[in-house]
Amino acid sequence: MAAEHERQIQGNGSARDPGEPRFTRRRDVAQVRGILAERVVVSTLLDPFLSLKAAGEYSGLSVKTLRRAVNGAPDRALPCYRVGTAIIIRRSEVDSWMAQHRTIGRPSLIIAMRRLGLEAS
């Protein structure tokens, strides 16, 4: 009987009914693998703000190229936030701006073919 009682003891020292699920939820505190989690803190933002240097590292572009993109024509410019002299960019905006510049094949060849009246297929 003592061995059976030992098997029923959980990590928190309380006896549990053998029919009770192993992972229980009590007072908004979940126990998973012996760890009590009162709250979950997400340490990384899903869409962080990036400096031009960080955006350059993320995208593989130079800071100079990104600065030109930010200061470019409004219809093709990279959206940014200017806080004082700092320029910051959301990661999702870098992704969508890069998607606007996606090409298949050599763009210069396609332009030349269109000028000659040939259709690229």
Residues 6+ apart with CB under 8 A from 4: none
Beta strands in 2-108, from DSSP E residues, in sequence order: 25-26, 29-32, 35-37, 49-51, 81-83, 86-90
* Structural contact between residues 119 and 110, judged by C-beta atoms closer than 8 angstroms: no
CATH 3.90.105, the chain: domain bounds: 49-109
Fold held by 49-109:
Molybdopterin biosynthesis moea protein, domain 2 (3.90.105)
Task: Print pLDDT tens along the chain (121 aa).
Answer: 555 444 444 444 555 556 555 555 555 555 556 656 566 565 566 889 999 999 999 999 999 999 999 999 998 899 999 999 999 999 999 999 999 888 887 878 888 888 888 875 5
Task: Mark 54-90 as b/e (b = at least 16 C-beta within 10 Å).
Answer: bbbeebebeeeebeebbeeeeeeebebeeeeeebebb
d(C-alpha 11, C-alpha 22), whole Å: 11
The pTM (predicted TM-score) of the whole model is 0.53
